[in-house]
């Protein structure tokens, strides 16, 4: 299970492993005040894509498509997250205001989809073919 949560929300036991997935540290949060287990900067969108998106909701659909293309192009940036999710629940931490239009939502859906494809016994396609690089 892959959950998302803003860095400003309180941790809970259901979070499992807490992974910060923003490229930049959030304003107003001291590192010692944010309980997290890992920081996966490379899983965040590229600086160019993040800047282009600017959290403008009218761009979210295209942003999501471009971000998934980036993820497919660099499996090494997210494969460790997939491994953690196979071991138990993980929570992706992010700083954006709107969870529904955040990169963390796109990343969580991407990872859930990857987990589903790995666990599908009817799938005879190798994993690398499903997420080409």
What confidence score (pLDDT) does residue 14 get?
A: 94
pLDDT given at position 89: 96
- pTM of the predicted model as reported, rounded to 2 decimal places: 0.87
Enclosing H/E stretch for 72: helix 60-73
What is the pLDDT at residue 120?
64
Q: Which stretches of the chain drop beneath a pLDDT of 50?
A: 124-133
**pLDDT on residue 129:** 34
Task: State the Cα–Cα distance between residues 51 and 68, nearest whole angstrom.
Answer: 16
Helix (H) or strand (E) holding 112: helix 103-119
What confidence score (pLDDT) does residue 7 get? 96
- Dihedral (C-alpha) 44, 68, 7, 118: value to the nearest 10 degrees? -110
Where do the structural domains in the chain lie, given as residue ranges?
Answer: 2-130
Is residue 9 a contact partner of residue 96, using CB atoms and an 8 Å limit?
no
Pair 103, 44: CB distance under 8 Å: yes
């Amino acid at each position: 299970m892959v959950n998302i949560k803003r860095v400003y929300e309180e941790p809970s036991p259901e979070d499992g492993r807490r992974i910060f997935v923003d490229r930049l540290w959030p304003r107003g949060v001291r590192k010692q005040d944010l309980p997290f287990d890992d920081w996966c900067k490379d899983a965040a969108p590229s600086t160019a894509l993040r800047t282009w998106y600017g959290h403008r909701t009218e761009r979210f659909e295209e942003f999501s498509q471009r971000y998934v293309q980036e993820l497919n192009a660099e499996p090494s940036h997210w494969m460790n997250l997939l491994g953690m999710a196979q071991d138990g629940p993980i929570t992706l931490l992010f700083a954006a205001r709107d969870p529904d239009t955040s990169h963390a939502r796109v990343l969580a859906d991407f990872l859930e989809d990857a987990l589903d494809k790995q666990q599908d016994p009817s799938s005879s396609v190798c994993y690398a073919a499903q997420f080409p690089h």
